Amino acid sequence: MEKELLFEMTNGQARTNRHGWGMTRPVCEWYGVQCDFVNGDERRPIVTGLLLEMNNLHGKLPATLASLEDLHVLDVAGNHLIEAAPEQMLQRWDKHQLEFGGKGNSFSNFVTRARVEYSSSGTLCVEHSAARFHLDVDETRGRATFESVRCS
């Protein structure tokens, strides 16, 4: 059921490759679906991966994807997904229970740009050490810059 909801919520008809999705074929034959089988029994499939990168997905990921407890890989990088990635999935990602590829989408709960600044007071300034630095990371542009300024 969750896989069908994923198809509907991500404008499945517009996908670059939608082989098997929305059809009566076994789920393990659908494009991008990786399966394993309970005790090696092909009649008892479990979905372990969804590899749908660069496949023209639009919309948002359904929160019900988190109910796929055996899902260990979800790659939706390079699509047009919006809003928040399901929090339960991000928690599994944080616990290293899920490999999640979401780069290139517009998830509202991802940091795509960050700036870190550090400056020391004059008392910590040493002639041959860097006293201030800036680090900018901008995923949207695929760029990171680092600037270091020595004390004068």
pLDDT (tens digit per residue) in 84-124:
888 898 889 888 899 999 988 888 887 655 666 665 555 55
What pLDDT, on a 0 to 100 scale, did the predictor assign at position 146?
76
Same-domain check for residues 126 and 101: no
Phi, psi of 116 (to 5 degrees): -120, 130
What pLDDT, on a 0 to 100 scale, did the predictor assign at position 9?
85
What pLDDT, on a 0 to 100 scale, did the predictor assign at position 90?
87
Q: Which domain holds residue 58?
A: 2-107
Same-domain check for residues 60 and 7: yes
What pLDDT, on a 0 to 100 scale, did the predictor assign at position 30?
94
| Alpha carbons 12 and 32: distance in angstroms, whole number | 13
Q: Provide the whole-model pTM.
A: 0.70
What pLDDT, on a 0 to 100 scale, did the predictor assign at position 127?
57
Same-domain check for residues 129 and 97: no
Same-domain check for residues 131 and 70: no
Same-domain check for residues 120 and 103: no
Measured between alpha carbons, how far apart are the two ends of the chain, in Å?
Answer: 65
Of 51, 58, 65, 97, nearest in space to 80 by CA: 58
Same-domain check for residues 92 and 139: no
CA 102 vs CA 13, 14, 15, 107, 131: distances in Å: 21, 19, 17, 8, 36
Same-domain check for residues 102 and 131: no
Same-domain check for residues 68 and 49: yes
- Residues of the chain under the 50 pLDDT cut: none
Phi, psi of 80 (to 5 degrees): -125, 50
What pLDDT, on a 0 to 100 scale, did the predictor assign at position 81?
93
